[in-house]
Amino acid sequence: MKKIRVRTGSLLLAMLLSIGLVFTGCGSAGNGDYAKDAAYEEAESATADYDYEEAAAEEAYDEGFDSAGISGEEDVSDGNGKEESVQGESGTEQKLIRTVDLVLQTKEYENTVAYIKKSITDFGGYIQGCSVYDNGLETSGAREASFVACIPAKNANEFIDKTGKTGKITSQNETVENVTLEYIDVESRVKSLKIEHEKLEELSKKAENISDLTKLEDKLMEVRAELQSFESQRRYLENKVNYTTINIEVEEVIHYEEAVPVKMSTGQRIVKGMKDNAYKVYNGFKEFAVAVLTHLPQLITYLVFLAIAIVVVRYVRKLWKRKNGKHVIDEKTEATKNEENKRV
């Protein structure tokens, strides 16, 4: 009997343990399913809130920035006309805007101006601006011309050298502006905007409702406008880099100005001053004679009118004197008669 009771208790204990394990497994399974459902709902919510436009823009900017590294060599002529490459420490091509200011004196004004106009075209450049001044006198500075020439950077030094041989360069200034960082930034923006434009076009094709499609189209219009603006800015920088701007001032002179030594003795200063003053006196008499002869017809006309005016004035004065004198004589005669009548 004892053995039966022990076996029966063991069976009951085993059954209770089995039932407990079954309920525990069911509870764990239920909790697992609940956790899976919660995770799925959270993922679905995050996907619904995902901004495809912003993601496209960020991805495009990252790709554009990574591909914005600019490499290559820029041909820049040195003082001897040889081409040399300009690169930075990191191998990035340097974007340099070069501007040169020239003051050129010439004794052959017309030939120099004609040569400059022709050579600008021959060197592959173009005239951005031009002005001419002529006061009609044969003096130094009587005729002047100014040009704003844009010459390809590789031909700029040769153009300057040949232009200087047509006269005498009295002043030459040069400035160089480095726009490498600005160009890289513009280039990266252009590339990123192109990638963003492509991404937005792909998203617009996959849009499932009118609202999303409208938002994407509006975004596309903004990207296109911004892309055109940056492309225009890039073209402007490229043109400024590829062409050297040369400002040329041409002055007509009778004789070239001599270079003045830094230190001059008293005798040298006296001789130079006498030469300069003698030239000014000579040139002044010459210009006076030219002015008189060129205006001689006007002077003769004025003298004729002046002579006629003098004759008329004298004639009028004579008539006035005659009339005034006769009136005085009549008054005296009448006064004499009156006195005689009183005596009688």
Q: How far apart are CA 65 and CA 82, in angstroms?
A: 35
pTM of the predicted model as reported, rounded to 2 decimal places: 0.55
The widest CA-to-CA distance across the chain, in whole angstroms, is 214
Say if residues 67 and 195 touch (Cβ distance below 8 Å).
no
Report domain extents, the chain: 52-259, 270-320
Q: How far apart are CA 256 and CA 170, in angstroms?
A: 9
Say if residues 139 and 248 touch (Cβ distance below 8 Å).
no
Q: What pLDDT, on a 0 to 100 scale, did the predictor assign at position 225?
A: 93
* Of the candidates 339, 300, 63, the residue with the CA atom closest to the CA atom of residue 189: 63
Least confident interval from 79-93, 220-234, 249-263, 330-344? 79-93
Residue 27, pLDDT above cutoff 80: no
Tell me the three state secondary structure of residue 327: helix
Q: What pLDDT, on a 0 to 100 scale, did the predictor assign at position 75?
A: 43
Percentage of the chain exceeding pLDDT 90: 35
Mean pLDDT over residues 188-209, rounded?
90
Q: How far apart are CA 312 and CA 343, in angstroms?
A: 48
- Residue-wise pLDDT tens digits, 95-118: 999 999 999 999 889 999 999 999
CA-angle at 109, arms to 151 and 296, nearest 5°: 150
Q: What pLDDT, on a 0 to 100 scale, did the predictor assign at position 48?
A: 38
Say if residues 213 and 204 touch (Cβ distance below 8 Å).
yes
Q: What are phi and psi of 142, to 5 degrees?
A: -65, -35
Residue 139, pLDDT above cutoff 80: no
Distance of CA 243 to the CA centre of its chain: 13
- How much of the chain is helix, strand and coil, in % rounded to 5? 65, 20, 15
Residue 6, pLDDT above cutoff 70: no
Range 171-177 contact pairs with CB under 8 angstroms and sequence separation of 24 or more: 171/101, 171/102, 171/103, 172/100, 172/101, 172/102, 172/103, 173/100, 173/101, 174/98, 174/99, 174/100, 174/101, 175/98, 175/99, 176/96, 176/97, 176/98, 176/99, 177/96, 177/97, 177/98, 177/99
| Sheet containing 143-152: order of strands | 126-134, 143-152, 243-252, 96-106, 168-178
Could you say which DSSP state residue 108 is in?
Answer: -
Tell me the three state secondary structure of residue 151: strand
Residue 326, pLDDT above cutoff 90: no
Residue 167, pLDDT above cutoff 70: yes
Q: What pLDDT, on a 0 to 100 scale, did the predictor assign at position 261?
A: 58
Say if residues 97 and 240 touch (Cβ distance below 8 Å).
yes
Q: How far apart are CA 280 and CA 272, in angstroms?
A: 12
Mean pLDDT over residues 161-170, rounded?
92
Q: How far apart are CA 194 and CA 199, in angstroms?
A: 9
Residue 237, pLDDT above cutoff 80: yes
Say if residues 152 and 124 touch (Cβ distance below 8 Å).
yes
Q: How far apart are CA 136 and CA 125, in angstroms?
A: 31
Phi-psi region of 121 (alpha: psi -120 to 50; beta: other; left: phi over 0): alpha
Give just the sign of the alpha carbon dihedral 335, 339, 342, 344: negative
Q: How far apart are CA 30 and CA 18, in angstroms?
A: 19
Q: How far apart are CA 324 and CA 337, in angstroms?
A: 21
Residue 36, pLDDT above cutoff 70: no
